[in-house]
Each structure stands twice: as C-alpha cells, then as structure tokens.
Amino acid sequence: MSKNLYIVPYDFTIVGDAAVNYALHLGKHIEVEIQLLHVVKSKSEIAGASLKLEQLTNRLEKPSGVSFSHLVSVGSIFDEIGKTATQKSAQLIIMGTHGATGLQKLFGSNAMKVITSSETPFLIVQKNTVMNEIKNIVVPVDLTKESLQIVNVAGDIAKIYNAKIHVLGEKQNDELLSQQLKNRILIVRNQYQERNIECSVELLKQGGSYQKKIMEYCKNNATDLIGIAYHSESLLPQFDTFAQALITNDQNLPCMVLNSKLASALYF
C-alpha cells in the first residue's frame, strides 16, 4: 500500500494553522504525507501562494515519518478540495473552521457543501481544538443504514491510535424501532470485536436535543474525537443543524464527517 496522504485545505489563517498542527499531531503515529492545498481564483495567484506555502512547510517541525508537499489549485473550494482528495486517493481531509459563525460565513447558503462534495472523510478542527491523544472516539448511529457508513472509518482511526469506540444511539419507545436500533448496534459491535477494537454501547434517553445529549456524553467520557456520517437526503433537513452543531461543538472537539452517499471503500 502506498504512503498515507492527508490533505489540509490551507487559507493562511489561524484556523488553517490549527488544521496543519492537528495533521502533524496525527502524524506522530503514522507514516504520512501532509499536502497543503490552497485554492485561488486565477493563475496569476499561483506563484505567490506556492512561495508562501513552501516557506511555511520549511518552518514546521516534522515528526519522523511525516513529509510535506503543497498544491495551489485554481477554482472553487466547493469543487477543488473534494476533487483533489479523490484524484490523489487521500485518506483524510483535515480542515479548520472558525466555529458556527465562521462556518456559515464561509459556506453561506451552501452550508455543508464543501464537506458533502467529497467521498473522502473530513476531520474538522477549531482554532481552540486541543491536541489530545485519540483514546476515546464517540460514534452516534441511528435507524438509517447510512449512519453506519462512519463505522469502518472510525474503526481505522481506532486501530491506528489504539482508541476505544463509544457507539451511541437514542432509545426508542416503539418496540419495532427499538429492536431495529439494537440490531444495528449489534452489527457494529460485532464488527469492532472482529477487528479487536475496544467498543462500548450506550443508548441515550429519548427526548430533548440528541446533539446536546451526545455532547454531554462526550464531556463525561473524556472524548477526543466525534465521528458522524452525513446523510441529509435520507433524513429531515434539520440534520444539517445536527451535523453543524457537532462540527462546531463548544467543547472544541475534532469531528470526523463522512458523506455516506459518496463514500466508497476507504482505508488507512
């Protein structure tokens, strides 16, 4: 298998720096090439941006096994990030966000469009994200089969960093729905057991905001990473709000997001 590749969309801002630093943090445990991707509007901007990226990478302290490259692409962030990751068979896109306000400012009416334009998993960090070792990963699932798409990717991360996965679901009053959820969680738990990944299962009480209950669980269980599958076409439109609430969580936890519709066979 070829060397792993993480792509970091970089815009010369503090949140771009946060994404680079987190990529370096992850690189302590895996041999990886980190490619900085900057998107410009015209060819005339390529040379200047390339020089700035080269100067940045020369200043960075790189763990053993980590190499850097950079690419300046002409186009739109809504197209170039996902396209580049696919063309280069990247395992992960690590991107920074300013939080809820900054996310909306960046995406405008195209909320989530950058993330949902790619079949490659995104790992979103905030400027205040703490670079803890990944020891506990929270993976919420629901009654849709699409929500299970994140399971393999979260498992890959858990294997690399020797982490425990906490599978969360929301209790169902309806007996049929309750059994369906338990069956899905059983499939997930069996899959992790087959891969020798430590796993726990927790069904959260029904009622109230699901994302708030998830974040409360994260707070009480020393969570280092949240993993979700984005599948808004299979759910009500408010899933956009659900996903954004987790991505821009006030605990500043990194959040891994996978577009379940575009996802194909992914591995590290």
pLDDT in tens, 85-132: 999 999 999 998 865 444 444 443 343 667 777 889 999 998 899 999
Name which residue leads in pLDDT, 216 or 246. Answer: 216
Q: Give the N- to C-terminal CA distance of the chain in Å, as an integer.
A: 9
Give the whole-angstrom CA distance, residue 226 versus residue 145: 18
Give the whole-angstrom CA distance, residue 235 versus residue 246: 16
Report pLDDT digits (tens) over 3-37.
799 999 998 989 899 999 999 999 988 899 999 99
Query: Once rounded to an integer, what is the mean pLDDT over residues 32-45?
Result: 95
Pairing mode, if any, of strands 122-126 and 255-259?
antiparallel
Instruction: Report the 3 state secondary structure along the chain.
Output: CCCEEEEEECCCCHHHHHHHHHHHHHHHHCCEEEEEEEEECCHHHHHHHHHHHHHHHHHCCCCCCEEEEEEEEECCHHHHHHHHHHHCCCCEEEEEECCHHHHHHHHHHHCCHHHHCCCCCEEEEECCCCCCCCCEEEEECCCCHHHHHHHHHHHHHHHHHCCEEEEEEECCCCHHHHHHHHHHHHHHHHHHHHCCCCEEEEEECCCCCHHHHHHHHHHHCCCCEEEEEECHHHCCCCHHHHHHHHHCCCCCCCEEEEECCCCCCCCC
pLDDT, residue 168, reads 94
Give the whole-angstrom CA distance, residue 149 versus residue 63: 31
pLDDT, residue 267, reads 38
pLDDT, residue 110, reads 44
Report pLDDT digits (tens) over 65-87.
899 999 999 998 888 998 999 99
The alpha carbon dihedral of 13, 248, 129, 78 has a sign of negative
pLDDT, residue 46, reads 95
Does domain 4-126 fall under CATH 3.40.50.620? My reply is yes
pLDDT, residue 241, reads 76
Helices 150-161 and 175-194: angle between axes, nearest 10 degrees: 40
Does domain 136-254 fall under CATH 1.10.4160.10? My reply is no
pLDDT, residue 232, reads 59
Residue located via tokens 């998993």: 121
Of the candidates 226, 254, 257, which has an alpha carbon nearest to the alpha carbon of residue 125? 254
- Examine the pLDDT at 191 and tell me if it is beyond 50: yes
Name which residue leads in pLDDT, 32 or 265. Answer: 32
- Examine the pLDDT at 44 and tell me if it is beyond 90: yes
Query: Once rounded to an integer, what is the mean pLDDT over residues 232-237?
Result: 46
Pairing mode, if any, of strands 255-259 and 225-230?
parallel
pLDDT, residue 116, reads 72
pLDDT, residue 7, reads 96
Domain ranges of the chain: 4-126, 136-254
pLDDT, residue 233, reads 53
Residue located via tokens 């503090």: 14
Same fold, 4-126 and 136-254: yes
pLDDT, residue 240, reads 67
